[in-house]
Chains A and B, each alone.
Chain A
Amino acid sequence: MVAVPLPRRRRMSPRARREAMEGYVFILPWLVGLLAFVAGPIIASLYLSFTDYQVVQPPTFIGVANYQQLFGDGLFWQSLKVTAIYTVVTTPLQLCLSFLVALLMNQKVRLLGMWRTIYYVPNLVPAIATAMLWLWVLNPEFGLVNTLLRYFGIQGPLWLSSTRWALFSLIMMSLWGGVGAPMLIYLAGLQGISTELYEAVECDGGGGWAKFRYITVPMMTPIIFFNLVMNMIGALQVFSGPYLLTGGGPANATLFYVLYIYENAFQFFKMGYASALAWVLFIIILGMTVLVFKWSSMWVYYEGELRR
């Protein structure tokens, strides 16, 4: 037998070592932050989900009782229903609207910078200011929406106070604030599409629709996919709007899942139960994300790769 010498590991040069060291120093704050403020609480919450933890008393281990309790808790199902409706309605609406706006913002029109800013600004408005603004817009007596409806002889509803309209009001609000960010990402994607592809369609006699159908949409599918995942996760975790505007009411009509977690954790002294709720949400989000990823292989096209 001939002994095959193992390849000798090349020693790092002093300069490479220093650069690696500098790299670690640069990422250290994020690593420490991740371990101390994210990973630590995540692990702790997993343990707490198996305890009766009332915040002001030490936790006591109760096994899977919190998870068992979930199934018999009507408010758990109600919060799940509200969040599901919101996600199913807002996610496609936000995706389509922001795509449409991005297409408009990709045209060569005057004052383009101003239009782009106008559409993006709602994203920069703090949640508290957005909530106040919509409180005014949806005020049944003096609000903009009902005032406009009155011009057409329609008596508008009590929006945020109505069991029928409160969730719809929050959906409407989400469209105003949720279009800017995906629009910007779409816009970047649109500008990355090679003009040669459009010219090829023109050579084949295709018009505007053909360009959109056969070039723009397929080339944008990775961006659509990214926005779909981000918007879906964001919708499942929505909190500030319902917390500030409706508090989950009226009659639990806007009891979103994360709001219910918050109530249990910080208002009802049920941190253990809230932790179990949080882990169930994590599993739901993980499951849905995996499903969307699997589904994406059927319609997402990555340029330079074979269609999967």
Chain B
Amino acid sequence: MFPQGTNEHTRMTRRELLRAAGAGAVGLALAACGASSSQSSASGPGKKPASVSGTVTLAFYLASEEWTKTFKKRVVEVFQKKQPKIKLNVQVRPGQDYFTKLQTQFAGGAGPDVTVANMDWTVPAASRGMFVNVKPYMDRDGIVQSDYWYPFDREWGWQGGIYAVLLYAGGQVTYINKDLLKQAGLDFPKPDWTWDDLVEYGRKLTDPKKQQWGITFDAITPPYWSAAFIQEHGGSVLNSAKDKCTLTSPEAQQALQFLADLIFKHKVMPNPSAMQGQENPFLTGKVGIMFGGTWEETAIRQSGFDWDFAHMPLDPQTKKRSVQEGSNGWAMLSTTKNKEASWEVMKFLVGPDGQKGIMTLGLPVLKDLVDSIEFKRIHQPQNIEVPVSDFTKSGHGYYVTPDANEWWGKVTDQLSPIFSGDKTVPQATRATCQAVDKVFAQRKSNNGK
């Protein structure tokens, strides 16, 4: 879901198949001559930071064309000035199938040294030996959690190791079209607004004659935005051990029913399937409230109407607030022959200079930066403190497991009939948990071998 990410189970991104296939072929050819090796391989870091001897060229992969220019200017150039001995050969591999290409390159011994990392596949691949555990490097060089507001291990931790350093955080944001609010004579939602208020806003903002809707979600099924509603209502997607699906609990089912009711009972939200292949209706000013991602801010900023961030509405019963958040990271491939040099780059990226460089692209994870006036100024006149407050106080991470790549897709697939009206919530959640628990059972049986 994140802009550098490649999970996107949405149908729109499938369009990139052919482009990705072409890029993959070129990528294989480029990667074959991309990486150089002038350092010896080491299984882990030494006790003291090692200096890079000689000049090293690192193959460094990104997945997003959109922000590569900014990234090169604000991050790569700064790094090259600080570390002239480590040359970064930045290569962009856009497309849905980024990880498909990465894993096949890795299998062929031709992968990059450092890659942008996505929550969907990093832990699953790390558990199979694809990425280097960077925790010993972090400990050695004093990268400490207390300097960061976002947990290091939330999406990148597995069995005590950390397999990527944070690039930036992001997640669910409540966007409000203030122009539509004004037209409907509504005040901006208060910080303690609830699901009941959300329905009321939805009703007043929906106008079928104008094809105008009150509410929309850009990705409704878990692990995306409906997970926040489930968690507010006291439910969860998985149990705390992350080895059992809990969507059949009354709390989870009630929250999902609330979301289905927005479509079928209250009629304040378009059916998600009607949005397939369409431009985001919030961007065209046809929706009052959108539960979207932080990365959509740039496009919304260009839309021309007045808008702002609102807090995630509270569950009226539990009075709890939860927002779904996540992160992107940087991971080192275990095939690299330049571990120290690769770590130097990763250390820079997660450090103050690297984080400052990506500040216009996402939420920096350093406490000092996310609270800085400079960061707030980038988002003005909108109030970025609202989502930052939701993230830091009520953020909920993704349910990352070594088989997340497999069961996430099943959750999306099996729950979607709720929102097309084909299945009731109990039917769909039962089918979902059966499919998910089967994946976990297979994991247990494999571990037992």
Residues in chain A within 8 A of chain B (CB atoms): 54-57, 126-128, 131-132, 135-136, 139-142, 158-164, 240, 243-252, 263, 266-269
Question: Which residue in A158, A244, A251 is a CB contact (below 8 Å) of B273?
Answer: A158
Q: Is the CB of A162 within 8 A of B409?
A: no
Q: Which of A240, A251, A266 contacts B414 (CB 8 A)?
A: A251
Contact: B128 with A135, CB < 8 Å?
A: no
CB distance from A109 to the nearest CB of B (A): 36
On chain A, the residues within 8 Å of B128 by CB distance are: 54, 56-57, 269
Q: Which residues of A contact B412 (CB under 8 A)?
A: 249
Among B71-79, B274-282, B340-348, the stretch that binds chain A is B274-282
In angstroms, Cα B19 to Cα A132, docked, is: 14
Contact between chains at A160 and B276 (CB < 8 Å)? yes
List of B residues within 8 angstroms of A252 by Cβ: 413
Pairwise interchain contact B100-A251, C-beta atoms closer than 8 A: no
Across the interface, do B14 and A244 meet the contact criterion of CB distance under 8 Å?
Answer: yes
CB-based nearest A residue for B9: A247
- The total number of A-B Cβ pairs within 8 Å is 114
Cα distance A246–B271 in the bound complex, in angstroms: 16
Q: How many angstroms from the CA of A161 to the CA of B422 in the assembled complex?
A: 9
What does the 1/0 interface line of B260-281 toward A look like (CB < 8 Å)? 0000000000111110111000
CB distance from B344 to the nearest CB of A (A): 25
Q: Is the CB of A267 within 8 A of B420?
A: no
Question: Which listed residue (B274, B405, B406, B413) contacts A139, Cβ 8 A?
Answer: B274
Does B107 contact A55, Cβ atoms closer than 8 Å? yes
Which residue of the partner chain, among B272, B406, B419, contacts A267 with CB atoms under 8 Å? B406
The range of chain B's interface size is 35 or more
Shortest A239–chain B CB gap in Å is 10
Considering only CB atoms, which chain B residue lies closest to A266 in the complex? B100
Nearest-Cβ distance from residue A212 to partner chain B, whole angstroms = 41
- Cβ–Cβ contact A128 & B17, under 8 A: yes
Instruction: Determine how close the nearest CB of chain A comes to the CB of B245; give it in whole angstroms.
Output: 15
Q: Does B158 contact A (CB under 8 A)?
A: no
Cβ contact within 8 Å between B423 and A131: no
Contacts of A266 in B (CB 8 A): 97, 100, 103
Distance from B36 Cβ to chain A, minimum over Cβ atoms (Å):
22
Indicate whether B258 reaches chain A with its CB closer than 8 angstroms. no
Let me know if A267 and B405 touch, CB within 8 A: yes
Residues of A contacting B: mostly: loop
Find out whether the CB atom of B413 lies under 8 angstroms from the CB atom of A161: no
Q: Taking each of B11, B107, B406, B431, which has the highest tally of chain A beta carbons within 10 Å of its own beta carbon?
A: B11
Q: Give B80 Cβ to nearest chain A Cβ, in Å.
A: 31
Q: A56-B125, A57-B128, A161-B272 are in contact. Are A132 and B15 (CB under 8 A)?
A: yes
B273→A247 contact, CB < 8 A: no
In the complex, B130 has a CB within 8 A of chain A: yes
A251 close to B417 (CB less than 8 A) = yes
**For the complex, is B124 an interface residue (Cβ under 8 Å from A)?**
yes
Query: A266 to B106, alpha carbons, bound, how many Å?
Result: 13
Cβ of B184 under 8 Å from chain A: no
B18 touches A128 (CB 8 A): yes
Minimum CB–CB distance for B94 against chain A, Å: 14
A139 contact set on B, CB distance < 8 A: 274, 276-278
Question: In the complex, A247 Cα to B273 Cα: how many Å?
Answer: 13
Please tell me if the beta carbons of A251 and B15 are within 8 angstroms of each other in the complex: no
Contacts A142-B274, A161-B272, A247-B413 given: A56-B420 contact, CB under 8 Å?
Answer: no
Nearest CB on A from B118, distance (A) = 13
Residue B145, interface by CB 8 Å: no
Nearest Cβ distance between residue B352 and chain A, in whole angstroms? Answer: 33
Which residues from chain B contact A126 at a C-beta distance below 8 Å? 18
Across the interface, A244 reaches (CB within 8 A) one of B11, B129, B409, namely B11
Which 3 pairs from chain A and chain B are nearest by CB? Answer: A161-B273, A135-B277, A141-B274
Query: B172 near A: Cβ within 8 Å?
Result: no
**B131 — nearest CB in chain A belongs to which residue?**
A56
Output the least CB separation between A70 and chain B (Å).
Answer: 14
The answer to whether A128 and B271 have CB atoms under 8 Å apart is no
Q: How far is the CB of B46 from chain A (nearest CB, A)?
A: 27
CA distance A142 to B129 in the complex (A): 47
Q: Is the CB of B107 within 8 A of A140?
A: no
Residues of B within 8 A of A131 (CB): 14-15
Give the complex CA separation of A269 and B104 in angstroms.
11
Contacts of A269 in B (CB 8 A): 103, 124-125, 128, 405
Complex Cα–Cα for A164 and B423 (A): 11
Given contacts A56-B129, A161-B271, A162-B422, 12 further A-B contacts (CB under 8 A): A55-B106, A55-B107, A56-B130, A131-B14, A132-B277, A135-B277, A161-B419, A162-B420, A246-B11, A247-B409, A250-B422, A266-B103
